[in-house]
Chains A and B, each alone.
Chain A
């Protein structure tokens, strides 16, 4: 059965590693059993299939060895709970990669600013790693990360590595716990202290929609043009191939014209209630 010729069929991928990020979030490292899916760009997503249960769209959070994929899943329903419970050896289904990417390379020569809220760091991790992999192409690489609390910070063990590779990483939490000496506050409160130069900044934002809107607003106040702000949008997705109609946001089909969208295009759409 040729998986590639019939792209709606899930390709088989085996879990080779399972990393618990927080109490409800897991990163699965996957390796193809048969044909791999095509190469992915940071920002794209796949439809992950929990056999017998269902499919959900999950952003790719990185690549692994042997044409592998890293996908970070938060358990919020039946399918994601099943995916989070997968142990090494288990085979799940993968369709994709779908959608638009962050286009990190287009920010070459600029300061790259990454602003992540909660699980939103997962789709941005690939962009950050891509930039750090070609560090000399960018001026500053700044990552501002907001999390609910220190225990709900994803990829916590990687942050120092990112700093070693040339990123300025600042973390803030909404709620502190005893012993936390880092920032406490919303992620937009880190923007002022980051001392960004708006004329040469490209910003990538991912997180809850409210957080993205407020962050983009702060960036615009600081003078970053909307054309150089990119957000990752989300709507109900079923097919991933622009044929089921579910993921519409006005004129956009987010599985095809997104999820990464320039804020210039996204801003008027996000302003319309119940679009």
Chain B
């Protein structure tokens, strides 16, 4: 037994409004996992066997660049889903994830959850709706960041 109850999960922002029955399925293969600062949860290229819901703290998604540099693309925190690639074949992490502040998480078994969704379409739909919402928000935010709004605009003519 994992010790995580449906009631524990119901409090998390990502699972808001999910039926108890569905929460119970998720709670079966779920553990409370503290992640200390600096710990890497997964690396670019690894198989995505797990995913997390962040309860507190901060996790950075990054990519490795030549010169031994990790470039952070986004940070996630309280209320966020960590991990999207576990839902999309070939189930391979596209980024690495590292805790940049001590974090507390619910950790899930990705294979088990995917299998449960195969047999319970209702659970699948509920989960995918929430995943889509998170992904959509992040896409919108990323598009805005690409606009580079805070940069000084190109001054063809400059000021008077």
Contacts and interface: CB of A to CB of B under 8 A. Distances in A.
A186 B72 contact: no
A81 to B, nearest CB: 9
Q: How large is the interface on A (under 10, 10 to 19, 20 to 34, 35 or more residues)?
A: 35 or more
A184 B72 CA distance: 7
A75 B152 CA distance: 8
A24 B74 CA distance: 25
A79 B144 contact: no
A18 interface: no
Interface stretch (A63-71, A205-213, A262-270): A205-213
Contact of B148 (A79, A174, A192): A174
Contact of B152 (A24, A146, A180): A24
A140 interface: no
Given A117-B150, A118-B150, A181 B78 contact: no
Nearest to A170: B77
Interface in A188-234: 188-189, 192-193, 207-208, 210-211, 214
A9 interface: no
A86 to B, nearest CB: 16
B149 A176 contact: no
A256 interface: no
A193 B78 contact: yes
Given A76-B159, A185-B74, A186-B141, A119 B150 contact: yes
B75 A184 contact: yes
Given A186-B141, A214-B144, A181 B152 contact: no
A154 to B, nearest CB: 10
A210 B144 contact: yes
Interface string A143-154: 000111000100
A33 B101 CA distance: 50
B88 interface: no
A182 B159 CA distance: 35
A182 B77 CA distance: 11
A56 interface: yes
Contacts of A146: 150
A80 B147 CA distance: 23
Contacts of B101: 181
Interface string B37-53: 00000000000000000
Interface string B138-155: 000100110111111101
B131 interface: no
Interface in A8-35: 24
Nearest to A152: B150
Given A182-B75, A193-B77, A208-B149, 11 more contacts: A56-B159, A76-B152, A76-B158, A80-B159, A148-B150, A152-B150, A174-B150, A181-B58, A183-B58, A184-B60, A184-B73
